[in-house]
């Protein structure tokens, strides 16, 4: 799949990871979140997630591409952010 000469990827976001479609992949590939890195759709260890994603992209030779992200019905959440102090705005 290519758009304007670049390959295109579709990321289907699930609560427990994501599935990648497109590019030069012969079939969709899954990336399950490490439960110590991503908990309840929140990244708890940014550096670990970055390293895991880089390894995943290298493993499947996923390079520069146009990306579309689709949220599954599992990715509905509500979060209350604590009130910020006025000087932090």
Contact 7, 44 (CB under 8 A): no
Instruction: Parse the chain into domains and list their residue ranges.
Output: 2-88
Q: Which two tokens stand for residue 6?
A: 């670049």
Per-residue pLDDT tens digits for 30-77: 999 998 998 878 899 999 999 999 999 999 888 888 889 898 988 776
- Give the closest residue to 46 by CA, choosing from 60, 32, 36, 61: 36
| Parallel/antiparallel/unpaired status of strands 17-22 and 42-43 | unpaired
pTM for the predicted model, two decimal places: 0.72
pLDDT band at 85 (very low <50, low <70, confident <90, very high): low
Alpha-carbon distance 77 to 41, whole Å? 9
């Amino acid at each position: 799949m290519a758009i304007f000469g670049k390959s295109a990827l579709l990321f289907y976001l699930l609560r427990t990871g994501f599935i990648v479609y497109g590019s030069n992949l012969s079939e969709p590939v899954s990336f399950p979140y490490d439960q110590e890195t991503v908990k309840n759709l929140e990244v708890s260890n940014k550096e670990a997630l970055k390293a895991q994603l880089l390894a995943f992209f290298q493993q499947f030779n996923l390079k520069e591409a146009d990306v579309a992200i689709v949220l599954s019905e599992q990715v509905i959440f509500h979060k209350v952010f604590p009130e910020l102090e006025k000087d932090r705005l």
